[in-house]
Structure 1
């Protein structure tokens, strides 16, 4: 069964062009929604995926109707492939029901994975280079005098946590973390 999916980003946009193309492509059932492609929670797309069975074909007007990021698109197509659901994109001339279409789509997936790996390698190399120069990542540690002062103010019960933050510059999270760690140290 061919199942179509049409999406536009805003209520003002029209689905007509996509709906016509999907019907011309022979879709027996079409799911449509007006929601941003950046949103992960697209109810009609999720409903379509839940409805589709092995051997069905998901047809879209363009790949960007399924998702804006390559990562999301690859994740979705991997899910479709696992479930035995084929994908056809009318405007992008991708048809995973054919050997060439499958190969083309897998090449896109490989390039996407390579891009993720290269980003990861560059990040690791940058961190190693910074460490070699004596730099460490993360937030700078608060001066222990400021933390001690914040804890003393907290225990006086005269100041709110927000006031203590303003007076000492020690964040609420740091204050509570230090109070808890000192309780644990004292009870040990």
Structure 2
């Protein structure tokens, strides 16, 4: 059987002597891992052919994968349309953080529909980090903040606040997760308590025979509408369609009841 390994000259050395090396006939290549004189290399080739010496598998070097580092996206907000109120303070801090793009709204934080905020969320890419100066620049309600955090996470992006250092989802911080969970629980309890106060206030005001102070609508229709509103099982639009009481009238009545109940 023909031997796979032999010793061949691979050019010459600097001194003009033959450069002997072990040669793999099957792979048609020299094996640079073996060094020595011709006779020592012949002994190595013999051991390789007999199977008493095995070639060590060359380590396959894999290039480390680049961690996906996205852009730094800044978001800022001011509550007024007046030109004299500027973004300067927020913009300067966001630029100092190295933001590549900055979005800014001139709207109340209580409003969820903000053009630049929506545009920023649409443009977010995996690996991006949204940076805000403080939480109140992004949202003024716990529920809205939690919803926005989830939207940002779903995009594969993260959120970081400059002033509220605990809010940093870039490093899977246990403290950030804990505080967001607590905020979610508190927000849910707050909504439940507010809903209960509204129901109690409406019941008290209705027993007192609260007057709308405007031309009366059909009292039975209004009572039906308020009852549906108290139950919370229908939207305002559905209540209007069911009872025939206008949205404006229903809202005025609910407000009056809340005012009389001190809510």
TM-score, normalised relative to structure 2: 0.47
1:96 aligned onto 2:169: yes
Kindly state the Cα deviation for residue 50 of structure 1 after the two structures are TM-superposed. 0.3
2:93 aligned with 1:21 = yes
Query: Unpaired runs of 5+ in structure 1?
Result: 131-135, 143-164, 180-188
Higher relative contact order (CA 8 A, sep 6+): 1
* Partner-residue secondary structure (3-state), 1:97: helix
Distance 2:195 2:140 in 1: 24
Q: Report how many aligned residue pairs link the two structures.
A: 145
**Residue of structure 1 aligned with 2:117, choices 40, 45, 52:** 45
SS of 1:107's equivalent in the other structure is helix
**Residues 83-131 of structure 1: per-residue CA shift (max 9 Å, x gap):** 211011111113211233xx2322222112322454538977xx8xx9x
- Choose the corresponding residue for 1:115, options 175, 186, 191: 186
Partner Cα separation in structure 1 for residue 75 and residue 110 of structure 2: 16
Q: Whose helix proportion is higher, 1 or 2?
A: 1
Runs of at least 5 residues in structure 2 that lack an aligned partner in the other structure: 1-70, 223-240, 245-263
Partner of 1:81, secondary structure, is: helix
What TM-score comes out, normalization by structure 1 length? Answer: 0.63
Shift of the 110–20 alpha-carbon distance from structure 1 to 2, 3 Å rule, reads same
Specify whether residues 56 and 111 from structure 1 end up closer, same or farther in structure 2 by C-alpha distance, changes over 3 A only.
Answer: same
Query: Is the radius of gyration larger for structure 1 or structure 2?
Result: 2
Q: Tell me the CA shift for residue 42 of structure 1.
A: 0.6
Question: Which of 73, 76, 83 does residue 6 from structure 1 map onto?
Answer: 76
